[in-house]
Structure formats: structure tokens, C-alpha cells
Amino acid sequence: AQSVSQHNHHVILSEAASLELGCNYSYGGTVNLFWYVQYPGQHLQLLLKYFSGDPLVKGIKGFEAEFIKSKFSFNLRKPSVQWSDTAEYFCAVNALSGTYKYIFGTGTRLKVLA
């Protein structure tokens, strides 16, 4: 069965600090990979996605993620966080065969201190 693991449940950073959130997935086939963000009181929004090609993908608001196939990982990074990045971040996978559902990790709650 597919699964997604996010290792950091709560992260607290000061503004301008660098961010890296871990995500590992379990699935033997080809997948699409996503990072979603949920700001307080808002709906889930796409941050970035990987389908194929360059394993380093850039998303909105200066976020990027690197797909490492050998490690089944898709870690999210941002060189310098801002107070407005305070939110919950979810990694998700979507298999390209069989079931088409999106499987989410448990999320990482990020708090950025001004």
C-alpha cells in the first residue's frame, strides 16, 4: 500500500532561517509528487509538484523541492523563511497506475517567529 511519511511534525524557525521538511513515500511504481500548504483558516493550496524531468522543482513563494528516486524522497526547501510562511505543509503522492487517489502525509506545522 502507498504511504507518505513526514518526519517533522512541528518546526519553529526565526525569520530568515533556512527550511527543509522531509518527505518519504512508499510505492514501487511511478508517482506524481506534491507539496500542499494550508494557511490558518484557508483551504489546501498547491505549493509545487513533480511529474517528470528535472528532479529539482520550483514552486510559489520561493519554495523548491528535490525528488531523489533512489531514496523515495521529496524534501521541501526554502532558503529564507518569512513570518507569512507560518502554515501546515503536506506532502502527497498520486500513483500513475491502479488507484488514482492522492495519499497525504500527516503534515508539518511550521511556525516562523518574527
Partner 1 sequence: DTGVSQNPRHKITKRGQNVTFRCDPISEHNRLYWYRQTLGQGPEFLTYFQNEAQLEKSRLLSDRFSAERPKGSFSTLEIQRTEQGDSAMYLCASSPELTTEAFFGQGTRLTVV
| Shortest spacing between CB 10 and partner 1, in angstroms | 10
- Please, what is the minimum distance in Å from the beta carbon of residue 16 to partner 1? 28
Q: Indicate the residue among 100 and 114 with the shorter CB distance to partner 1.
A: 100
Out of 17, 44, 62, 66, the residue judged to bind partner 1 by CB under 8 A: 44
Kindly state the cell numbers that stand for 13. Answer: 524557525
HSE-CB of 47 using CA atoms within 13 angstroms: 25
Q: What burial class does residue 32 get, using C-beta atoms within 10 Å of its C-beta: 0-12 exposed, 13-18 middle, 19+ buried? A: middle
Interactions with partner 1, residue window 76-105 (CB under 8 A): 90, 92, 94, 96, 99-105
CA–chain centroid gap for 6, Å, is 9
**Residue 55 falls in which region: left (phi positive, over 0), alpha (psi -120 to 50) or beta:** alpha
Residue 37: its H or E element: strand 31-38
12 in contact with partner 1 (CB under 8 A): no
**Residue among 14 and 88 whose Cβ is closer to partner 1:** 88
User: Which residues form the interface with partner 1 (CB under 8 A)?
Assistant: 4, 6, 9, 32, 34, 36, 42-46, 49, 51, 90, 92, 94, 96, 99-107
